Structure 1
């Protein structure tokens, strides 16, 4: 917001909005928010000027592409290889101790 352009909001409107939202604001906070909300409103107005019907809506500035590779079955570990470093096991499964005082 330039110094010569008045804020599109005044302190009374900001105080009213804060009251509607049930937000307690000090006079200093109201003054600060009046300027900040004014800048936000002006920025939205600038975007609205260029957002004409011939400009398609976008959610990202660049086109997104799928970065996943095809799901191809490859070589996998045997249960014995997978459990080789396990501190405890129960057959072909990892055995995990109870945590946080829970009983098994």
Structure 2
């Protein structure tokens, strides 16, 4: 074997990929909402039609990881009005009660 001249060599080092093929896990595929939880989608849609602010609060409470003060500010920005933490908590409780009534039905 002889050495290659510098002008014939790429200046970027290459990775050593001379390895056997790996058995990588399959990509997780979103199959949608399970049948036993479709009532949650229907209940949230019904709440959104009747009480849009309440539905926004419930969705924010259970999908965002932050303090309730931050969540109240986020909801106020999205809804376009003022919302205190007390109002946020009251509407959240009403929304949870609404969902509790739907699961009982």
1 or 2, which has the higher helix percentage?
2
The two structures share one fold, judged by TM-score above 0.5: no
